[in-house]
Structures are given as structure tokens and as C-alpha cells.
């Protein structure tokens, strides 16, 4: 039997795979484009074949864990932002696994947060206080969609452990706080009916904001690039609106959770914004909750910079599942 177990972090665009011996670091990490594979099983097989070609012992893997950008309720998983659909039990049987854990990707990312040090995170904005130990930690992250999660402490006979909350807060209704945002809401309402936070805070959301404000269709990568190099004032405005809305939604999450353990920003978009994000209205909008401004002013905000944090989190969840099996 292989000494390794298989880990995966699957989003709407990319699938990140790794092998890990229990208690050790990752032996192999590779990122595959989801569009290149018909289903999750094909992507798993392709990764394992390539890892074997690199000299790693992949035969006989018995334990695997998948963090996926989707609700995980019951056996059937149908991705919201990609066409992959599968039965957990059928996938486990087809791959000859004794244990296959499938969890929400942001729950897995949240599980990594209590263990991030300064090398894996970057402070965002000023703050009047510090993270309160043993208190809930919030997480929000725009990418192909918008992930929202948290970890909360639970104390039992064996001490305190962290529990990840798996939810779909990215689909909560968007609430504008300016006339400009009301204009965006009105346009997206005409297109979609219900307008969630994800309709703005995602790759497609960045494109939607720009389409409403500038009247042109432009890919998210191009919007970001032109905003960063200063060649497009409309793109810069789009990014500024995006960051401001993210601040408001992050503040809502922090208030809902009582996240005095800190609020983290993950996902693939914000790290690419660089100095534009740090100079944006994110932190002001995070705190801008009227009478609760002093409460939020004490909560630190961090940008997750560790390359593969969800893999670390899903590994911890697999550890717990293995002990219970």
C-alpha cells in the first residue's frame, strides 16, 4: 500500500492536487485546468499518472480528500461554477479507496487559518486591536465564485479544537451603500433577478461591474492588468468598486460571526490586485457599519498569501476523519 494519500482543492477553474504522507509536508503539487478533463475522476487519474511518471509511488493509495467549490450535502456533488458532477460513493469505489472525504473548499481553507504564520498572510489596513485568541475567525474569498466560511473553537475533554463552518454566504443578497452601487444592482437585477454578493465579487462579477460602469465587455484579467498599469481609468474605477464592495461584505461576515479572531481574505483575485487593494476603500468599508464601527475597528484583516492553504486545511480534516474511521 502506498505511503501517500491524495489531496485535492478543486475550484471552478483549476484543480490543485498533492500527495502527502501523514504528518509530513506535501510530496508533489500540480495544478490542472478543470476544462481539460471531463470529470473529477479523469482529473484525479491524470494527476496520479503524472505523479507516477515523476517517480512517486501512487499505486495502492487508500485515503483521499477533496475540497471542492460547492455545497457538499449527501452523496451527490454537482458543481455550481463548473460542469463536473459525481457520486462520492461511486468515486470512492471506482478508485479503490477505503476513505474519500469530500468537503466544501472554503471550509478546508478556513481550517488552515489558525495555523498560518506571518509568512502565510499579509496585514490589510490599520487596526486598533489584535486578534482575540480562541474566538471565531472569518473568511471571504472571491475567485471564480465567492467563498465564505469560518472556523469556531470547540472545547471538549481533549481540549480546544477548531470546527469549520461550511456555508454558501457568497449567495446572500447584495446590498448597495452608494448610488453608484445602486446603479450596478439595478442593471444586474434586470439580468438575473436575485443579485447575490457573488454577482459582483468574483471574476465574472468584476466583468459585470465594468460592463455596467464603462459600457464595454472586458475579461477580468484584462481589467486587472489595465488598472494596475494605469492605462484605463474605467478599469481602475471598476477595481476600486470591487474592493469597496468586498470590504462591506467582509464586514457583514465579521459582524454575523463575531469574528474577533480576525477576518481573512482568500481566493484568487485579490492577491493579483497588489497595491491597488491596499490603497482601496476595503478597510474603510469593512469598518463602516455605523454604531458598530468601533467593534469592527478592533478586528484585524489579513490577506492569505500561502500558495495552497486549502490543501493544508483538507489534510487536517482528513486526519480527523481517519482517526474516526
CB-CB contact of 197 with 172 (8 Å): yes
Say whether 117-304 and 5-107+308-324 share the same fold.
no
- Three-state SS string across the chain, please? CCCCEEEEEECCCEEEEEEECCCCCEEEEEEEEHHHCCCHHHHHHHHHHHHHHCCCCCCCCCEEEEEECCCCCCCEEECCCCCCEEEHHHHHHHCCCCEEEEEEHHHHHHHHHHHCCHHHEEEECCCCCCCCCCCCEEEEEECCCEEEEEEEEEEECCEEEEEEEECCHHHCECCCCCHHHHHHHHHHHHHHCCCEHHHCCCHHHHHHHHHHHHCCCCCHHHHHHHHHHCCCHHHHHHHHHHHHHHHHHHHHHHHHHCCCCCEEECCCCHHHHCHHHHCCCHHHHHHCCHHHHHHHHCCCEEEECCCCHHHHHHHHHHHHHHHHC
Report the CATH architecture of 117-304: 3-Layer(aba) Sandwich (3.40)
pLDDT in tens, 240-292: 999 999 999 999 999 999 999 999 999 889 999 999 999 999 999 999 999 99
Residue 195 pLDDT exceeds 90: yes
- Rounded CA gap, 278 and 268, in Å? 16
Q: Quickly tell me which residue has 482517526 as its cell.
A: 323
- Regarding the domain delimited by 5-107+308-324, which CATH topology (the fold level of the hierarchy) does it fall under? Nucleotidyltransferase; domain 5 (3.30.420)
pLDDT in tens, 74-102: 999 999 878 999 999 999 999 999 999 99
Q: Give me the sign of the Cα torsion angle 34, 38, 44, 50.
A: negative
Q: Quickly tell me which residue has 491524470 as its cell.
A: 46
- Phi and psi (nearest 5°) for 181? -70, -30
- Phi and psi (nearest 5°) for 65? -140, 135
What band does 1 get if pLDDT is binned at 50, 70 and 90? low
**pLDDT > 90 fraction of the chain, expressed in percent and rounded:** 72
- Rounded CA gap, 167 and 63, in Å? 25
CA angle 9, 139, 132 (to 5 degrees): 130
Residue 126 pLDDT exceeds 70: yes
- Residue 223: predicted pLDDT: 97
CB-CB contact of 110 with 253 (8 Å): no
Q: Does residue 95 come out as left (phi exceeding 0), alpha (psi in the -120 to 50 range) or beta?
A: alpha
What band does 325 get if pLDDT is binned at 50, 70 and 90? low
When the pLDDT of each residue in the chain is averaged and rounded to a whole number, the result is 92
What band does 125 get if pLDDT is binned at 50, 70 and 90? confident
Residue 59 pLDDT exceeds 80: yes
Domain range summary for the chain, segments of one domain joined by +: 5-107+308-324, 117-304
pLDDT in tens, 168-189: 899 999 999 999 999 999 999 9
Average pLDDT over residues 215-233: 96
- Rounded CA gap, 289 and 126, in Å? 16
Amino acid at each position: 500500500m502506498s505511503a501517500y494519500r491524495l489531496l485535492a482543492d478543486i475550484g471552478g477553474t483549476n484543480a490543485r492536487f498533492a500527495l502527502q504522507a501523514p504528518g509530513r509536508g506535501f510530496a508533489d503539487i500540480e495544478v490542472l485546468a478543470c476544462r481539460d478533463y471531463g470529470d473529477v475522476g479523469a482529473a484525479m487519474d491524470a494527476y496520479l499518472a503524472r505523479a507516477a511518471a515523476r517517480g512517486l509511488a501512487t499505486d495502492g493509495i487508500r485515503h483521499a480528500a477533496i475540497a471542492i467549490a460547492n455545497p457538499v450535502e449527501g452523496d451527490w456533488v454537482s458543481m455550481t461554477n463548473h460542469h463536473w458532477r459525481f457520486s462520492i460513493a461511486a468515486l470512492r469505489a471506482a478508485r479503490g479507496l477505503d476513505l474519500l472525504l469530500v468537503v466544501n473548499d472554503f471550509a478546508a481553507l478556513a481550517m488552515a487559518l489558525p495555523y498560518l504564520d506571518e509568512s502565510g498572510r499579509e496585514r490589510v489596513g490599520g487596526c486598533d486591536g489584535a486578534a482575540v485568541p480562541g474566538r471565531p475567525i472569518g473568511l471571504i474569498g472571491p475567485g471564480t465564485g465567492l467563498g465564505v466560511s469560518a472556523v469556531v473553537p470547540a472545547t471538549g475533554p481533549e481540549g480546544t479544537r477548531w470546527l469549520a463552518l461550511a456555508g454558501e454566504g457568497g449567495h446572500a443578497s447584495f446590498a448597495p451603500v452608494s448610488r453608484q452601487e445602486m446603479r450596478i444592482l439595478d442593471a444586474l437585477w434586470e439580468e438575473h433577478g436575485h443579485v447575490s454578493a457573488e454577482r459582483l465579487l468574483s471574476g465574472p462579477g468584476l466583468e459585470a461591474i465594468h460592463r455596467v460602469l464603462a459600457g464595454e465587455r472586458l475579461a477580468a484579467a484584462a481589467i486587472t492588468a489595465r488598472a494596475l498599469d494605469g492605462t484605463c481609468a474605467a478599469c481602475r474605477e471598476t477595481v476600486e468598486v470591487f474592493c469597496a464592495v468586498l470590504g462591506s461584505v467582509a464586514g457583514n461576515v465579521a459582524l454575523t460571526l463575531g469574528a474577533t479572531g480576525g477576518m481573512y481574505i482568500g481566493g484568487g483575485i485579490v492577491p493579483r490586485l497588489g497595491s491597488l487593494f491596499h490603497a482601496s476603500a476595503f478597510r474603510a468599508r469593512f469598518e463602516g457599519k455605523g454604531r458598530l464601527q468601533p467593534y469592527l475597528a478592533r478586528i484585524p484583516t489579513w490577506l492569505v498569501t500561502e500558495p495552497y492553504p486549502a490543501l493544508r486545511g483538507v489534510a487536517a480534516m482528513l486526519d480527523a476523519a481517519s482517526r474516526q474511521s
